[in-house]
Amino acid sequence: MESFADELRQAGHAVHVPDLYEGHTFDTLDDGLDYARRTGFGAIRQRGIAAAEELGDALVYAGFSLGGMPAQQLAQTRTGAKGALLFHSCVPVSEFGDAWPAGVPVQVHGMDADPFFTEEDGDLDAARALVDSTEQAELFLYPGKEHLFADSSLPSYDEAAAALLTRRTLDFLDRIR
């Protein structure tokens, strides 16, 4: 994710990347998920929320996969949120409130055959419900089955899809400036 953050920085955006896994790194997605299960998904989410506390409130919150949960919660509940970018994840809006907040645009990005996004966790259904509930939401589906396709450090990286995701992300951020 650092290379993605660097691309956004090169385009003039301030980007902070909290360490939700407290320095632990994993060779596989399953190993990372096992760690998150042992640690507790709530604890991982709270780390993301705590990391945002020192940054002020007029922010666009972004998260990849499990990091999408704190990003979505912050965007939905923190006064002054400017937007949300949810990559490879989306939970039902009801997890953090009654409705998506007015004036907070959101994009959700995922692959159309990623089993984590489309089947197992219900993220695609949540993303479609979010889009149906507000004109401020956009859902982008990319062809493929990879979960973390925008991370150039992983074998799941899809250069073409990642380039399109990056362009859409930068367009989103430029509209918010």
* Tens-digit pLDDT profile for residues 73-113: 999 999 999 999 999 999 999 999 999 999 999 999 999 99
128 or 32, which is more confident: 128
% of the chain at pLDDT higher than 70: 100
> Tokens 């998506």 appear where?
100
Place of tokens 């955006």: 13
* Strand ranges inside the chain, DSSP E: 60-64, 83-87, 106-111, 137-142
Q: 68-77 and 41-53 helices cross at what angle (nearest 10)?
A: 50
> How much of the chain exceeds pLDDT 90, in percent?
69
Global pTM value:
0.92
**Domains, the chain:** 2-176 (3.40.50.1820)
Q: What is the mean pLDDT of residues 21-39?
A: 84
Give the pLDDT confidence score for residue 30 in this predicted structure: 83
User: Does the pLDDT value for residue 36 go beyond 90?
Assistant: no
The pLDDT score that the predictor gives to residue 56 is: 85
Report the candidate in 174, 116, 117 with the shortest Cα–Cα distance to residue 140.
Answer: 117
| In the predicted structure, residue 62 carries a pLDDT above the cut 80 | yes
